[in-house]
């Protein structure tokens, strides 16, 4: 059923366009040495920035300072007041804010980056969230405000709850860092809906991972996709899919990167789905078999092996429908519109044939246990 190396060697595209010509150079096409970071949280945004700065320096442009915007409690940004820092990413920081005019109630998230950044991730965030809002997409933050104050740009968006990464890490015991099967399949369906919504407005995410999906602040059953700093428009102004580039730099987080990334092949819709599947398997089993591999090329070979003799290593503990999903995703080519509904149906089948219960989600049970002061108060099962 599975053929070793068949995925990377498959000719997905007409001769001369993208995929196939890159294949013979499998895993040796890595002119640039990327630093592989141990934590799944780390991505290549910092490396991307360094590469951009190096290119700017070569062109005689003085590269900007590497520091992140630092704002303090009480600082004012436009009409927004900083309450505290929520976290930092590769390019900027996210703060909890409130509106000082009193016109907008509640708390929001303000994302800021230095205006001098050579890679402008907030610009992409604004483009993508604006398109999604126009399309009435339901799995994304609302964009409330954007602007520039002195040396930094900012956007203000809906405040979300904990990310899947945070929800997994509630447990210190690594074996327990997973969602219950019903919960994993159910959020998986919502993630696919989010991916379909994003693709339908013409963008690829290219950095899906547990840290980039969160639950709603008020609705713990809502799934929200975050962080469009690595996104790319895959359709042109005429609505046609852009032709693949001959080679593309690494984007995303190595642990969840699709095979295409490991051979510098330009990404397409299938790659977001492959990345999601790795994340889905991790949320279901608690780990991915290549988690401790640090070398990017070795990890790519491991992912290939998991299509053949390593299949049990990857899928052990997962419903058999996950294998069908992988076969389906692997069969997609650069220009093929994915059948998102088919993946969602397979997840629904996994729920029904295994008599799984979707709700309440693990974190709802944990909250109830905390409220009751009972056992299980420390996190999801
Ligand atoms: N709308 C939001 N509401 C609440 N927290 C948020 C929101 N957006 C981002 N965060 C949190 O802020 C932190 C930084 O997010 P950001 O997207 O800048 O970087 P990251 O995804 O952690 O890292 P990287 O950019 O390197 O991928 C994360 O902990 C993230 O969960």
Q: Is the CB of 90 under 6 A from ligand 1?
A: yes
How far does the centroid of ligand 1 lie from the alpha carbon of residue 95, in Å? 9
Would you place residue 35 in the very low, low, confident or very high pLDDT band (cuts 50, 70, 90)?
Answer: very low
CATH for the 161-362 domain, from 3.40.930.10, 3.40.228.10, 3.30.70.360, 1.10.510.10: 1.10.510.10
User: Model confidence over 57-68: pLDDT tens digits?
Assistant: 444 343 443 457
Residues 177, 224 contacting (CB under 8 angstroms): no
Average pLDDT over every residue of 160-176: 87
Nearest CA to ligand 1 atom 24: 89
111 appears as a binding residue in the annotation: yes
Residue with CA closest to ligand 1 atom 21: 89
Ligand 1 centroid distance, CA of 79 (Å): 22
Q: 228 in the Ramachandran plot: left (φ > 0), alpha (ψ -120 to 50) or beta?
A: alpha
Angle at which helix 181-200 crosses helix 340-353, to 10 degrees, equals 170
pLDDT tens digits, 300-309 = 999 999 999 9
**Residue identifier of the C-alpha nearest atom 17 of ligand 1:** 227
pLDDT at 72 over 80: yes
pLDDT of residue 358: 97
For the residues of 173-231, what is the DSSP string, one character each? SGGG-S--HHHHHHHHHHHHHHHHHHHHTTEE-----GGGEEEESS-TT-EEE---TT-
Q: Which atom of ligand 1 is closest in space to residue 162's alpha carbon?
A: 31
Reply yes or no on whether the pLDDT at 187 is more than 70. Answer: yes
Ligand 1 pocket check for 86: Cβ under 6 Å: yes
This model of the complex carries an ipTM of: 0.96
Spans of all domains in the chain: 76-158, 161-362
- Contact residues for 350 (Cβ-Cβ < 8 A; gap 6+): 181, 185, 319, 320, 321, 322, 356
Q: Which of 2-6, 51-55, 144-148, 248-252 has the highest mean pLDDT?
A: 144-148
pLDDT tens for residues 202-257?
Answer: 999 999 999 999 999 999 999 999 999 999 999 999 999 999 887 777 777 899 99
pLDDT at 37 over 50: no
> What's the confidence (pLDDT) of residue 90?
77
Q: What is the pLDDT of residue 67?
A: 59
Q: Return d(Cα 75, Cα 193) in angstroms, integer.
A: 37
**227 CA distance to ligand 1 centroid (A)?**
7
Please give the pLDDT value at position 50.
Answer: 52
Ligand 1 site, residue 89, Cβ cutoff 6 A: yes
Ligand 1 touching residue 229 (CB < 6 A): yes
Which residue has the CA at smallest separation from atom 28 of ligand 1?
87
In short, whether 253's Cβ falls inside 6 Å of ligand 1 is: no
Concatenate the DSSP letters of all residues of 249-280 into one string.
Answer: ---S-GGG--HHHHTTPPP-HHHHHHHHHHHH
User: Would you state the pLDDT for residue 149?
Assistant: 87
**Range among 12-16, 43-47, 70-74 rated most confident:** 70-74
For residue 101, report the phi and psi dihedrals to the nearest 5 degrees: -75, -20
Ligand 1 center–CA 77 separation, angstroms: 19
Is any atom of ligand 1 closer than 6 Å to the C-beta of 118?
no
Query: What is the average pLDDT value for the chain, to the nearest integer?
Result: 83
Angle subtended at Cα 138 by Cα 132 and Cα 144, rounded to the nearest 5 degrees: 60
pLDDT at 215: 98
Ligand 1 in reach of 252 Cβ (< 6 A): no
Ligand 1 center–CA 253 separation, angstroms: 14
Give the model's confidence band at 324: pLDDT under 50 very low, under 70 low, under 90 confident, else very high: very high
Band of pLDDT at residue 371, cut at 50, 70 and 90: low
Residues of the chain above pLDDT 70, percent = 77
Q: What is the pLDDT of residue 89?
A: 81
Of the residues 68, 83, 84, 87, which should be mutated to test ligand 1's pocket, given the most ligand atoms within 8 Å of the CB? 87
Q: What SS3 state is found at 296?
A: helix
User: How many other CB atoms are found less than 10 A from the CB of residue 23?
Assistant: 17
pLDDT tens sequence across 327-370? 999 999 999 999 999 999 999 999 999 999 999 999 998 766 65
Query: Atom 12 of ligand 1 has which residue's CA nearest to it?
Result: 87
Q: Domain 76-158's class?
A: alpha beta
Catalytic residues: 207
Residue of 119 and 78 predicted with greater confidence:
78
């Amino acid at each position: 059923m599975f053929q070793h190396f068949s995925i990377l060697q498959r000719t997905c595209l007409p001769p001369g366009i993208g995929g196939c010509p890159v294949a013979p150079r499998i895993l040796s096409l890595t002119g640039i040495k990327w630093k592989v970071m141990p934590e799944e949280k780390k991505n290549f945004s910092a490396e991307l920035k360094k590469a951009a700065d190096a290119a700017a320096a070569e062109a005689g442009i003085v590269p900007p300072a590497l520091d992140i915007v630092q704002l303090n409690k009480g600082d004012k940004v436009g009409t927004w007041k900083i309450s505290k820092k929520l976290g930092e990413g590769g390019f900027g920081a996210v703060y909890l804010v409130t509106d000082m005019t009193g016109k907008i109630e509640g708390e929001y998230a303000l994302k800021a980056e230095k205006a001098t950044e050579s890679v402008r991730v907030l610009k992409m965030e604004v483009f993508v969230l604006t398109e999604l809002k126009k399309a009435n997409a339901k799995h994304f933050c609302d964009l409330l405000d954007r602007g520039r104050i002195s040396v930094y740009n900012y956007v203000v968006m809906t405040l979300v709850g904990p990310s899947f990464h945070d929800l997994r890490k509630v447990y210190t015991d690594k074996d327990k860092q997973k969602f219950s099967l019903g919960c994993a399949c159910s959020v998986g369906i919502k993630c696919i809906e989010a991916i379909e919504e994003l693709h339908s407005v013409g963008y690829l995410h290219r950095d899906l991972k547990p840290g980039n999906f969160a639950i709603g602040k008020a609705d713990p059953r809502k799934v929200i996709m975050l962080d469009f700093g690595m996104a790319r428009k895959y359709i042109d102004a005429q609505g046609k899919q852009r032709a693949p580039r001959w080679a593309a730099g690494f984007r995303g987080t190595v642990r969840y990167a699709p095979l295409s990334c490991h051979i510098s092949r330009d990404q397409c819709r299938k790659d977001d789905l492959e990345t999601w599947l790795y994340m889905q398997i991790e949320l279901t089993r608690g780990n991915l078999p290549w988690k401790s591999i640090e070398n990017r090329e070795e990890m790519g070979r491991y992912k290939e092996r998991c299509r053949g003799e390593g299949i049990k290593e990857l899928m052990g503990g997962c419903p058999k429908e996950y294998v069908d999903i992988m076969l389906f995703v692997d069969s997609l080519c650069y220009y093929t519109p994915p059948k998102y509904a088919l993946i969602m149906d397979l997840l629904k089948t996994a729920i029904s044939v295994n008599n799984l219960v979707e709700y309440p989600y693990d974190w709802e049970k944990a909250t109830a246990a905390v409220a009751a002061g009972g056992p299980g108060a420390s996190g999801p099962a």
